[in-house]
Amino acid sequence: MMFHDLIGNRAQAAAFAFMTETLLTTIENSFQIAWDYLEATGELGHPDTAANHLLDTIEGMVRRGERRQLPLSNKAIAAYQRFRAEQALSLAS
C-alpha cells in the first residue's frame, strides 16, 4: 500500500494542502519505510489498521515539528508495535 493511495480522495488531500511537496515526500517516504519494515518482519497485521496507525503517528510528529525521515519511521514502527502488543494483551484477558 502506498501513501498516495491513502489520501486518494479530495477531502483527504485537502487536509494536507498546507504541507509543501517536500514535506509530503518526507511523510510518504517515512510511511513507506515503516510499512516495508513491518511487512518484512511479519508484524504488519491488518493493512487498513496499520496504514491508519502509521499515518496518524507520523502526522502527529510532523505537526509537532519533526521533519527527519528515520525518526518519523522508527517512532511510527515502535508506536504500532506497542499498539499491537496492547491489542494482544487485551484479547488474552
- 12 vs 3, 15, 70, CA distance in Å? 12, 5, 24
Q: CB count, 10 Å around CB of 77?
A: 20
Structure-derived torsion over alpha carbons of residues 59, 18, 28, 55, reported in degrees to the nearest 10? 20
pLDDT one-digit tens code per residue, 10-60:
555 555 555 566 899 999 999 999 999 999 999 999 999 999 999 999 999
Give per-residue pLDDT as tens, 55-90: 999 999 999 999 999 999 999 999 999 999 999 888
pLDDT the model gives residue 14: 58
Pick 21 or 6 by higher pLDDT: 21
- Using CA atoms, how far apart are residues 88 and 40, in angstroms rounded to an integer? 20
For residue 92, the model assigns a pLDDT of 83
Please tell me the predicted confidence (pLDDT) of residue 9: 56
Round to whole Å and give the CA distance between 24 and 59: 10
- Looking at residue 91, what is its pLDDT? 82
**C-alpha cell belonging to residue 82:** 506497542
Q: What is the pLDDT of residue 4?
A: 57
